[in-house]
Structure formats: structure tokens, C-alpha cells
Chain A
């Protein structure tokens, strides 16, 4: 896999190769999260998109500077709403604990929830309008905490874990394919909320220019040590140029190229650290007594239950853990892009593609998950050039103006779906356990 990426570096450019590599790393993290749920415990989670988006939201809420004006305009109303929600939850908990189960109780709770939603809407309305009215072209939302963005990776994990707790409580009792549909739909709800609650996320207006954990290219290009570094790195090439002015322009060109490569390398380093830490942790977990118990639960729920293992609790735990990892990946993704675009979260790209990675790589095997993330993402990106090459080869006999050829070349981007689908079908048929199947060594 690495060889392929290096080949891209040599033939296309190092910039593209590194950005593919970074996205591969992020995909690998997502795949590991899904793999923990599916491979360790057999839980099917089609809500990956929702957790990714929550991780991204965390990145925004942590790193953006707070918008003081918006807080003054509507912060009070929003805080009031928060208190109302907390009060509502406590009242419902109180009722659930202290009253026997009856029709009256169910209707009472439903009444409280409906009344609560109406009250919250009434209190929040002026606050939300005020916040969204504050300089809507630039802010129009509450902003975040103004902390370094790397913190958001942890916070993203907590956000996603929190959502997973709620979803797990609601949906984990369902049979596998119902769980899949339920999680898919819940993730759509999450996206709908993120898209339309402008006071919190700016919605479809997007948040751009997030802080970076890596230096900016422009700053690097004027930094002394970086120029020296590039010069030393390319000293052989530069020495061939005798003319001083030419040499300077060549050096400038190299510095500009080098700076973007350097920034991407910084990201790669950060992401690689995360992947390695997660890999060590998940490998340890897989071979621990806990991992053994999870496999026992996966393979035979009733038997595990009879042995005194709390299946419901363990399922919930692993659901939260897996989702939290996906949350980290979501925050990493936004960190790398430097922008948060709620409109771009689509189930095709963030749920089903990740599942293709899990299935292709090998469920239950962490290395398989990483391999799946790398291989599938690489194909996803390089599918278009490959398809173009194939089309040109097969239609070589046709004139360039032939309608079919033009049509095919126009639809090159969609061949990636075809490749993904065929790949998934072939793997499911001939290697149902994935490229690297689960391998449990008993020591």
C-alpha cells in the first residue's frame, strides 16, 4: 500500500501523495472505530456519518474564538434553554423512578416532553434570532472556546461517545438489520440538526479558517531555517545551476513546494501518532480477557449471558468506544481541512464507504481495518484516473468526437462507485472475511 502511495508521489506529485496518505490515516481511524463495533462485537452501526460530523462540530466549538457580541445578544436565552433541558431530564428521571409503570405515567412523560419543547422554543426563539443577527456574513453563531484545535480530538471523542450512549440506550436491543436502519436514520437526524441550528454551527454557511496545529505555508516560506533546510535538501540539484538569479528562482519554487509538503508532513506525523496509539490500544484490548469476552458475546450471546456476562452493558460499552474513535476521526478530518461544512456529510461517503473499508480490510482484525482504510481510500481517489486510462484504452479505435466516448469520459467520476460496488461484491463472495481475516492466536 505504501509502495503505491510512493508511486503516486513519484509520478503525480508528493503533495497529492501526502494528502492521500493523510486521508488514508483518517479513514483508517474511522475504520478502526467501525471495526471495533462490527468485528469485536458484531454490532452494525450505519451511523458513522453522524459521529464524524459530531467530531467535526467539536473541532469548531473548541478552536474558534468565542463571539462576545453573540454571547451578549443571546447567550442568556441559550443558557436558560440548557437549564430547562437539564431540568426536564431530571423531572423525567424522577417520574420514572418514583411512579409505577402505567399508562398515566407514559402520557405524563409525553406531555412533559411536548410542553418542554414548546417552552424551549419560545425561550430560545429571540436568543437564536439575536445570535444569528450578529454580523451574519462572518459570525452569526456563538463561536467556540478558542483553545488549540488538537484538544478537540478528545472532545470529539466525548461528543460522539455521548451520542452513542443515547443511541445505544434506544436502539441496541434491536435485531441487526433494524439496528442498521435505526442508526442510519438517527445519523441523518444529527446531520439535520447540525445543518439547521445556525446559532451553534453556522449551518450551511460553513465555518472556515479554523486554527491549525501545523504552521502556515506562507509563514514557512519566509522562515530562515526552513529555507536553509530546503536548500540543504536539494543541494545537489541547486549546484547544477550556475547562474545566481536562476538559482534563486529555483530555490523559491522549491521552498513554495516544500512548504506545503512540510505542512502535510506535520499532519501526517500527528495522525500517525493517533493511529499508532489506537492500534496499540485496540490490539491490547483484542487479546485481553475483555476482548475474549466480547468475542464470546458476539459468537453466542445466550451462552455468554448464561456465563454471567452482562451482554447489554458490554454492547453499550463497545458501541460507545467505537463511536468515540469515529468521533476522533471526525475531528481530525476537520482539523486537516481547516473548515467545517455540514452540507458535505453524506451517507454515501461517510457511512457506506467506511463500511466497504471494514468489510474489504477484514472485520475483527485491526491491521485489516487499517489496510482497508488505505486500500479503499486510495482506490476511491485514484479510480477516476484509472477509469480514464481504461476508457481511453478500450475506445482507442474511436474518433475523439464519437458521442459514446465523450459521454464515457464525462462520466469518469462515477466509475469509482462502480469499482467500490464490484470490489465489495467480489470480496463478500470470494473472501467473506476480508483481505486480512480475523486471526486469534491463543497463547
Chain B
């Protein structure tokens, strides 16, 4: 019984939240990696692009709510996502046309493109803050919990409750569906294959008649889908605040690099690596040991490896270690 309690405890406080957070990071990391692999620059505007997409989704959600449309148990934001994606794709193509295209045609070094993306970051941040303001916003509606802690306790007769938020389930589901479609697209369809070819060797791809304009456009559209959905899922699960989204750029970068930048599958797993290690290393295991150890050996301290203040620092340290020992990432991305 105690063992069961301990397992439920870990599930409740580590596994479920880390799975949801990891999914959100994974979507962002695939976004970074795609841009890096195909357009060949580190996009510093990642976090703000995600917040732009989320902002549009929130505006649509408010509009639908005012019309009285809702999904019942599910959050209204899910209907808003397709509309937000369209807007986001237009915004990204617009930015590409006016900003990034020039440097791509000039074949500027990646550093210059990264600098330009900082300019885009500033502008996007300003636009988001001017339109919706810098405040913390919750736009979740519908049923909050799928499994409530109290009900779970009653049902199983255990001491520990297991609470699963509906947003966590939605996040994991949507991520699995989206990522499966994405990998199917990249590996099986002709366009996906030509994207891979373009990423591997630009000149050779051009020689074999692949249209670079089309590739770039599709990349931005996929990026828009990933950014919007990733951002909305994060916002539903926690809350929407432009500053947090900007900060999320850092663990997302860490996830992309840890997984091997330029490699979508690596980025996907990288998200989970970062999320799980952040939560594993900062969780206080006192209660866990109280269940599995006999009473005489119960720990007195919190048994916490690092205080929760260092949550971000954990992922960055992992990144530094990976950069030192395996610069191409765990799953061999592009060579550095």
C-alpha cells in the first residue's frame, strides 16, 4: 500500500506535470529546429511568436464566448486555434517577405539573421503588448479536472490523491496527434521529403528541381501551426503573460539543442528531457521517502537536490553539459 502511495505521489507531482510541460516545450523546440534546419538561423523571436499566436487565439476565444459558442466540457480556445493559426501564418509570411527574405537572398551569415530575428522579437513583443497588454490572463473555460484528488482518494482508498487537469490531457493528446502528423508529413510525403533534402543540402536540392520559395513558405506555415498550438496549450495549462512566453524561449532553445538542433525528433524528445530533469531535480522527496522507508529511517530534511528557484538553471546546465560533451546533441543534429 505504501509503495502504491509513493508511486501515486510521484505520478501526481512529477510525471503528469512534466509530461504536459514537456509536450509544450517539445512543440516549441520542433519549431526552433525546423527554422534552424531549413532557414538556417537561430530564431530569437520564438517565444514572442508563440505569444503572438496565443494572443490571436485569446482574442478569438473572447469573440466566441461573446457569441455564446462553447465546447461544453472542453475549452473554447480549441475552436479558436484554427483561426489563430491562419492569422499567425499570415503574420509569419509577412515578416518573412519584409524582413528575412532579403537576407536569405543575399546569403547572409546565420549570425546576421539571428540579429534580425532580435529585431523581429522587439517588434512582435511590442505588438503583443500594445494589443493585449502585459497582464496575466487566463482564458480557460470548461471542465477543469478529469480526475480530482479527493474523488481519486475515495475511489482507491489510498492516502495520496491523483489530480489530472483536463488541460494536461488535452496537451498530451494534441501534441501526440500533431507530432505524428508532422512526422508523417516530413517522412512520407513528397513535400516533406523535399524539405528534408533542402535542409541537408541546399544546392543539390535546387539542382533536383525543388522550389525553394515553396519550401520556405511551407516551413513558415508549419512553424505557425506549431507556435500557435504550443503557445495556446501552455496558456491553457498555466496562463498567458507575454513576459513568461519570452522567457520560455530559453528552455525551448535548450530542448532543441539537447535533442540535436535541426533534428525534429530529437527536439521532440529534448522537450521531455528538459521538462523531466527540471522537475526531477527540484522536487522535494521527503514524503516519497516517508512512504517507502521504515519509520526509523525517515529523512528530516526536504531531500531536495536543488531548490525550486533553480528550475531554469537546471535546464541550462544540462544544455552546457551537452554542448561540452556532445555538441551535436543527443540525437545527432546538424554538425556544429
Interface residues of A (CB under 8 A from B): 44, 125, 170-171, 174-178, 180-182, 184-186, 188-189, 192-193, 195-196, 348, 352, 355-356, 359, 408, 410-411, 414-418, 420-422, 424-425, 428-429, 432
Interface centre among A170, A181, A182, A418 (most CB of B within 10 A): A181
Query: What distance in Å separates the Cβ of A171 from its nearest Cβ neighbour in chain B?
Result: 7
Interface centre among B118, B129, B319, B320 (most CB of A within 10 A): B118
Question: Is B177's beta carbon under 8 Å from chain A?
Answer: no
| B110 with A185: CB separation less than 8 A | no
| B253 with A185: CB separation less than 8 A | yes
Interchain CA distance A193-B310 in the complex, whole Å: 8
Contacts of A348 in B (CB 8 A): 125, 246
Question: Is B297's beta carbon under 8 Å from chain A?
Answer: no
| B42 with A170: CB separation less than 8 A | no
| B313 with A171: CB separation less than 8 A | no
User: Which residue of B122, B134, B250 contacts A418 across the interface (Cβ within 8 Å)?
Assistant: B122
User: Which residue of A188, A195, A355, A410 contacts B115 across the interface (Cβ within 8 Å)?
Assistant: A355
Interchain CA distance A125-B99 in the complex, whole Å: 52
| Complex A-B: 10 CB contacts under 8 Å | A170-B320, A188-B313, A192-B310, A348-B246, A352-B121, A355-B115, A355-B118, A414-B130, A421-B121, A421-B125
Contacts of B316 in A (CB 8 A): 185-186, 188-189
Contacts of A181 in B (CB 8 A): 42, 253, 257
Interface centre among B109, B254, B309 (most CB of A within 10 A): B309
Interchain CA distance A155-B253 in the complex, whole Å: 33
Query: What distance in Å separates the Cβ of A197 from its nearest Cβ neighbour in chain B?
Result: 9
Closest A-B pairs by Cβ, 8 of them: A421-B122, A421-B123, A418-B126, A417-B126, A424-B119, A414-B129, A196-B309, A185-B316
User: Which residue of A170, A171, A195, A418 contacts B123 across the interface (Cβ within 8 Å)?
Assistant: A418
Besides A178-B336, A185-B253, A418-B127, 16 other CB < 8 A contacts?
A171-B323, A174-B327, A174-B336, A177-B110, A181-B257, A185-B320, A188-B316, A189-B317, A356-B118, A414-B129, A415-B126, A417-B126, A420-B122, A424-B116, A425-B123, A428-B119
| B112 with A411: CB separation less than 8 A | no
Residue of A nearest to B108 (CB): A432
A429 with B320: in contact, given A348-B246, A417-B122, A418-B126 (CB under 8 Å)?
Answer: no
| A417 with B123: CB separation less than 8 A | yes
| B310 with A180: CB separation less than 8 A | no
| A428 with B115: CB separation less than 8 A | yes
Interface centre among A193, A415, A421, A424 (most CB of B within 10 A): A421
Contacts of B292 in A (CB 8 A): none
Interchain CA distance A245-B257 in the complex, whole Å: 73
User: Which residue of B114, B123, B127, B313 contacts A177 across the interface (Cβ within 8 Å)?
Assistant: B114
Question: Is B324's beta carbon under 8 Å from chain A?
Answer: yes
Question: Is B307's beta carbon under 8 Å from chain A?
Answer: yes
Question: Is B34's beta carbon under 8 Å from chain A?
Answer: no
Cβ < 8 Å to A, chain B residues 95-131: 99, 102, 109-112, 114-116, 118-127, 129-130
User: Which residue of B122, B250, B320 contacts A424 across the interface (Cβ within 8 Å)?
Assistant: B122
Contacts of A188 in B (CB 8 A): 250, 312-313, 316
Interchain CA distance A189-B118 in the complex, whole Å: 21
User: Which residue of B116, B250, B253, B312 contacts A425 across the interface (Cβ within 8 Å)?
Assistant: B116
User: Which residue of B42, B109, B120, B309 contacts A195 across the interface (Cβ within 8 Å)?
Assistant: B309
Contacts of A171 in B (CB 8 A): 320, 323
Q: Tell me the count of chain B residues lying within 8 A, CB to CB, of chain A.
A: 44
Question: Is B150's beta carbon under 8 Å from chain A?
Answer: no
Query: What distance in Å separates the Cβ of A405 from its nearest Cβ neighbour in chain B?
Result: 13
Query: What distance in Å separates the Cβ of A404 from its nearest Cβ neighbour in chain B?
Result: 11
Contacts of B121 in A (CB 8 A): 352, 421
Residue of A nearest to B242 (CB): A414
Question: Is B133's beta carbon under 8 Å from chain A?
Answer: yes
| B310 with A196: CB separation less than 8 A | yes
| A421 with B120: CB separation less than 8 A | yes
A411 with B312: in contact, given A352-B122, A355-B115, A421-B123 (CB under 8 Å)?
Answer: no
| A189 with B313: CB separation less than 8 A | yes
Contacts of A356 in B (CB 8 A): 118, 122
Query: What distance in Å separates the Cβ of B306 from its nearest Cβ neighbour in chain A?
Result: 9
| A44 with B130: CB separation less than 8 A | no
Question: Is B41's beta carbon under 8 Å from chain A?
Answer: yes
| A182 with B320: CB separation less than 8 A | yes
Residue of B nearest to A351 (CB): B118
Query: What distance in Å separates the Cβ of B242 from its nearest Cβ neighbour in chain A?
Result: 9
User: Which residue of A192, A411, A414, A424 contacts B118 across the interface (Cβ within 8 Å)?
Assistant: A424
Interchain CA distance A420-B324 in the complex, whole Å: 35
Binary flags per residue of B156-171, CB closer than 8 Å to A gives 1, else 0:
0000000000000000
| A418 with B130: CB separation less than 8 A | yes
Interchain CA distance A170-B324 in the complex, whole Å: 7
| B119 with A425: CB separation less than 8 A | yes
Binary flags per residue of B290-310, CB closer than 8 Å to A gives 1, else 0:
000000000001000001011
Interchain CA distance A408-B133 in the complex, whole Å: 10
Residue of A nearest to B307 (CB): A196
Interchain CA distance A195-B130 in the complex, whole Å: 30
Interchain CA distance A19-B124 in the complex, whole Å: 29
Contacts of A432 in B (CB 8 A): 112
| A185 with B254: CB separation less than 8 A | yes
Cβ < 8 Å to A, chain B residues 233-271: 246, 250, 253-254, 257
| B129 with A428: CB separation less than 8 A | no
Interchain CA distance A174-B317 in the complex, whole Å: 16
Contacts of B123 in A (CB 8 A): 417-418, 421-422, 425
Interchain CA distance A176-B309 in the complex, whole Å: 30
Query: What distance in Å separates the Cβ of B91 from its nearest Cβ neighbour in chain A?
Result: 14
| B336 with A182: CB separation less than 8 A | no
Residue of A nearest to B32 (CB): A181
Query: What distance in Å separates the Cβ of B328 from its nearest Cβ neighbour in chain A?
Result: 10
Contacts of A420 in B (CB 8 A): 122
A184 with B313: in contact, given A176-B111, A411-B130 (CB under 8 Å)?
Answer: no
Contacts of B126 in A (CB 8 A): 414-418, 421
Query: What distance in Å separates the Cβ of B137 from its nearest Cβ neighbour in chain A?
Result: 15
| B110 with A176: CB separation less than 8 A | yes
Interface centre among A170, A185, A348, A418 (most CB of B within 10 A): A185
| A425 with B120: CB separation less than 8 A | yes
Residue of B nearest to A418 (CB): B126
Contacts of A411 in B (CB 8 A): 129-130, 133
Interchain CA distance A181-B41 in the complex, whole Å: 12
Interchain CA distance A218-B152 in the complex, whole Å: 65
Interchain CA distance A227-B309 in the complex, whole Å: 51
Contacts of A416 in B (CB 8 A): 126
Contacts of A189 in B (CB 8 A): 312-313, 316-317
Query: What distance in Å separates the Cβ of A181 from its nearest Cβ neighbour in chain B?
Result: 5
Query: What distance in Å separates the Cβ of B85 from its nearest Cβ neighbour in chain A?
Result: 24
